[in-house]
Amino acid sequence: MKRLLALAAAAFISVPLAGPAAVAVTGAPGAPGAGDPYFPGQGNGGYDTGHYDLALDYSPSSNHLTGVATISATATQALSRLNLDLVDTLTVRSVTVNGAAARFAQSGAELVVTPAAALDSGAAFTVVVRYDGRPTHVLDPDGSRDGWIRTSDGVYNANEPQGAMTWYPGNHHMTDKATYRFAVTVPSTRVAVANGDLVSRTSGGDRATFVWDAKEPMASYLTTVSIGKFQLGDAMLGGFRVITAVDPKLAGKAADFAARHAPVLDYFGSLFGPYPFSSTGGIVDHEPNVGYALETQTRPIYPVVPSERLLAHELAHQWFGNSVTPTRWQDIWLNEGFATYGEWLWQDELGTRPIQDSFATAYAVPADDDFWQTPTADPGGPAALFHDPVYDRGAMTLHVLRRSLGDATFFAILRAWASEHKYGNADTAAFVALSERVSGRQLDALFDAWLFQPGKPSL
């Protein structure tokens, strides 16, 4: 389910070895990265994953994780070798490809796998990786923690932009979406919550296994397996399956947390088109130091009981970011600008803040402020992914587009964006082209000023 970046086409190399005992090796090594300018090592070339089956066993007290990752994929070139992304603080014990033992080597965050036999272009194959160790988070270029973040009773697992490699091997770039099944075994005093639908919860002795099925394609930065002494809720509310996991310390404040989802989703559904996933909900953990929430697919993770505004932000991401995902990190305003606009829309709908006020406050930043030096569509590097211009200038861009085209055309554009790229990837150029197509207008001047040039655009 990958839409490839504009990569240099990998050469097909056929290398006949000299000598009578030699075996003909066909295929070339898959690229060690997906070619993203902000995170060059992220993802890999030469194959496209379709499904991950992750069987994990975790002990919070010792922070020990044992994993078996079964990855179904398709070769997109003849492959002599392929890489997966996994940090080497975890130790790989064995790798098989199509059931046969494969050679492997770990180097930094690259797991290099050499199958016993080369894979033909177009061939479906299955990789099984057995691994274990004591996972730890990574530090992002902006200094925040990302990945397997330990808490006093488990893990706050948020993986944007690069944390997935801290707990399972995979093709960890957003362009390679896949479906997932998680089977997570933890002490029976804990709950393990992941994306998608809870399929079963079984316990034997002092261990419990939670199985989760994420049926819709998902980018790996949106996966989560969060563990804690959660109160688990699973109910049909307003037509949505709402699965919530709340730290008991926050349960009082979260009494209506599950019930607050349907009104936001109904409103966004009326503007953006149908909610794209089979379930919703969220994880509220008591981890005051993380500093950010994340829109993990179907089930955002929050370090606090979310305000209406934060709830709206993470739920808007389900359409914008999760179902429609950028092709490169520099297009992150397609996530954060849209989710910020979702906050503004929901506050306007609630009557707590007219949308024109939200726009005016953001626009009031003085023209000589650094804020305006960052073009919306390329914040300049991985350390600036989650800085204000991406969020606020992104949302302002949408509001200016709306004011220029009118509500009917503007929301038709958002619905077309959500439906035409459902479960896929798309970049800023595609959004500009779609806006021009749906509106029938030439929008170069507007988008150039708001997306591509530094400086405060005039109104």
> Residues in the site for Zn ion, rule: CB under 5 A?
336, 339
Number of amino acids touching ligand TRP (CB under 6 A) = 12
Q: Applying CB under 6 A, does 216 fall inside the site for ligand TRP?
A: no
- Complex with ligand TRP: residue 317 or 402, whichever CB lies closer: 317
Distance CA 131, CA 158 (A): 21
Q: Which of 85, 285, 287, 336 binds ligand TRP (CB under 6 A)?
A: 336
Of 48 and 388, nearer to ligand TRP (C-beta) is 388
Structure tokens of 52?
């991950």
Q: How far apart are CA 236 and CA 67, in angstroms?
A: 32
Between CA 426 and CA 415 the distance in angstroms is: 14
12 touching ligand TRP, by CB under 6 A: no
Of 146 and 378, which has the nearer Cβ to ligand TRP? 146
Among residues 85, 153, 160, 247, which is the contact residue for ligand TRP, using CB under 6 A? 160
Residue 294 binding result from ligand TRP, Zn ion, none, given CB thresholds of 5 to 8 Å by partner type: ligand TRP
Q: Provide DSSP, 395-415.
A: HHHHHHHHHHH-HHHHHHHHH
CB of 78 to ligand TRP, least distance (A): 37
Q: Which does 386 bind (CB under 5 to 8 A by kind): Zn ion, ligand TRP, none?
A: ligand TRP
Q: Residue 195 in contact with residue 230, Cβ under 8 Å?
A: no
Of these, 168, 346, 359, 386, which contacts ligand TRP (CB under 6 A)?
386
Measured CA to CA, the distance from residue 171 to residue 233 in angstroms comes to 32
Q: Which of helix, strand or coil describes residue 458?
A: coil
> Site residues for ligand TRP, window 279-298 (CB under 6 A)?
292-295
Which of Zn ion, ligand TRP, none has residue 12 at its interface (CB below 5 to 8 Å by kind)? none
Whether the CB-CB separation of 133 and 65 falls below 8 Å is answered with yes
Instruction: Between 156 and 386, name the residue whose CB sits nearer to ligand TRP.
Output: 386
Least CB distance to ligand TRP at residue 314 (A): 6
Q: Provide the 3-class DSSP secondary structure of residue 413.
A: helix
| Strand stretches in 219-295, DSSP E | 225-228, 231-237, 240-246, 280-284
Is the CB of 113 or the CB of 339 nearer to ligand TRP?
Answer: 339
Q: Does residue 142 bind ligand TRP (CB under 6 A)?
A: yes
Q: Return the number of the residue (81 or 387) whose C-beta is nearest ligand TRP.
A: 387
Beta-carbon count within 10 A of 404 CB: 14
Sign of the torsion angle spanned by Cα atoms 358, 264, 330, 440: negative
Which helix (H) or strand (E) segment holds residue 337: the answer is helix 333-350
Task: Tell me which residues touch ligand TRP (CB under 6 A).
Answer: 140, 142, 144, 160, 292-295, 313-314, 336, 386
